[in-house]
C-alpha cells in the first residue's frame, strides 16, 4: 500500500510508497497520460512545493513548443533495442536489426547516451562525426554511416511516438562516409581469357548433350 495525497485535483498528486520515506509526484500530461517523478523530499510540504514546481515547469515547456517530458538518449535507445529484439524473437524482425543494435550498444549510446533526446543539435551531430573518425581511426565507410543513421532514426522515432521529442527537433542525418573499394573493370587480357573460357565451356556442354 502507498500513501497518496492529491495537490491539484486530476492534475498533481504526491504519494509515498511503502518502505520509502521519499515522496513521489504524479503529474497529468496534456496527452492524457501521467508522468511520475521523485520529489527527492521527505517532508510532505516540501514535496508538495516540488511537485507543483515540476507541474508548472512542464506546462511552460509545452507552451513554448517543447515536449512536457523528455528522456536521455540512453533510455530511449534501450526501448528501441528492446522493440527490435522482441520483433527478432517473434520472427518478424529484419535481420539488419542486429546491426542496428550493435551500433547502438558499441557506438551511439556511448556517445549520445548522456544527452536529452530532444536536445541533440546539428552542432552535436557534427561533433559526433569528428569523434567517430577518431573512434574508427579513419573515415567510416558509407555503409557504416547508413547503419548508424538508421539506428538513430529508430531511437528518434521511439521518442516522437512517446511525446518525448517533437518531430521538428529530429536532426537531419547526412552520410559523409567514403564509398567502399570497388573492383576495377576487367583489363583487356582478363576479358579475352574470360571469353575464351566461356567458349570452351559452351563447346564442352554441347558435345556432352549430343552424346
Burial of 156 (0-12, 13-18, 19+ CB in 10 A): buried
Q: For 117-144, what is each residue's pLDDT tens digit?
A: 988 999 999 999 999 999 999 999 999 9
Contact 68, 39 (CB under 8 A): no
CA 27 from centroid of its chain's CA atoms: 26
Give the model's confidence band at 157: pLDDT under 50 very low, under 70 low, under 90 confident, else very high.
Answer: very high
d(CA 46, CA 22): 11
Tell me, what's the pLDDT at 169?
A: 86
Q: Is the pLDDT of residue 63 over 90?
A: no
Give the model's confidence band at 86: pLDDT under 50 very low, under 70 low, under 90 confident, else very high.
Answer: very high
Give the model's confidence band at 201: pLDDT under 50 very low, under 70 low, under 90 confident, else very high.
Answer: low
84 against 67, higher pLDDT: 84
Q: For 97-112, what is each residue's pLDDT tens digit?
A: 999 999 999 999 999 9
Amino acid at each position: 500500500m502507498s500513501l497518496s495525497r492529491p495537490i491539484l485535483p486530476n492534475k498533481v498528486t504526491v504519494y509515498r510508497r511503502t518502505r520509502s520515506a521519499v515522496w513521489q509526484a504524479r503529474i497529468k500530461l496534456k496527452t492524457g497520460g501521467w508522468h511520475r517523478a521523485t520529489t527527492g523530499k521527505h517532508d510532505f510540504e516540501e514535496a508538495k512545493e516540488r511537485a507543483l514546481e515540476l507541474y508548472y515547469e512542464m506546462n511552460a515547456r509545452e507552451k513554448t513548443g517543447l515536449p512536457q517530458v523528455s528522456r536521455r538518449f540512453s533510455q530511449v535507445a534501450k526501448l528501441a533495442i528492446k522493440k527490435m529484439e522482441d520483433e527478432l524473437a517473434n520472427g518478424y524482425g529484419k535481420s539488419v536489426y542486429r546491426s542496428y543494435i550493435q551500433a547502438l550498444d558499441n557506438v551511439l549510446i556511448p556517445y549520445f547516451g548522456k544527452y536529452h533526446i530532444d536536445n541533440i543539435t546539428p552542432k552535436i551531430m557534427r561533433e559526433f562525426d569528428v569523434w567517430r573518425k577518431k573512434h574508427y581511426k579513419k573515415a567510416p565507410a558509407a555503409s557504416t554511416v547508413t547503419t548508424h543513421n538508421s539506428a538513430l532514426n529508430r531511437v528518434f522515432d521511439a521518442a516522437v511516438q512517446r511525446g518525448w521529442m517533437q518531430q521538428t527537433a529530429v536532426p537531419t542525418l547526412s552520410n559523409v562516409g567514403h564509398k567502399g573499394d570497388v573492383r576495377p573493370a576487367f583489363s583487356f587480357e582478363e576479358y579475352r581469357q574470360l571469353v575464351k573460357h566461356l567458349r570452351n565451356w559452351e563447346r564442352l556442354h554441347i558435345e556432352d548433350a549430343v552424346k
